[in-house]
Amino acid sequence: MRFTFWRGKPVPKAAPRLPAWVTAHTEAFRVDEVGRVGRLTLAQEFRANGGQE
C-alpha cells in the first residue's frame, strides 16, 4: 500500500535554456533575382515553360 499523500507535490522540471539562434526569427531572402540559389537558369525556365517567354 502506498501513501502518496505524505509526499510533497512533484516539482516540475525547468525547461532547458535554448541558445539565441534557436529562438531567433527566420529571415526571408529573395530568390527572384537571376543567379540566386533556388532559381532556375534562363535555359531551364525556357524548357520548363514549353519554350514560351
Confidence of residue 2 (pLDDT cuts 50, 70, 90): low
Is residue 15 in a domain? Answer: no
Dump the DSSP string for 4-49: GGGSPPPPPPPPPPPPHHHHSPPPP----STT-TT---HHHHHHHT
Name the average pLDDT for the chain. 77
Instruction: Quote the domain boundaries for residue 31.
Output: 21-53
The total number of structural domains in the chain stands at 1
Is residue 33 in a domain? Answer: yes
**What mean pLDDT is predicted for residues 19-44?**
79
Confidence of residue 49 (pLDDT cuts 50, 70, 90): confident
- Cell 535554448 maps to which residue? 18
8 Å CB contact between 35 and 42:
no
The proportion of the chain whose per-residue pLDDT surpasses 90, expressed as a percent, equals 0
**What mean pLDDT is predicted for residues 41-46?**
86
Is residue 5 in a domain? Answer: no
Is residue 14 in a domain? Answer: no
| pLDDT given for residue 5 in this prediction | 63
Residue from 23, 45, 19, 25 nearest 34 by CA: 45
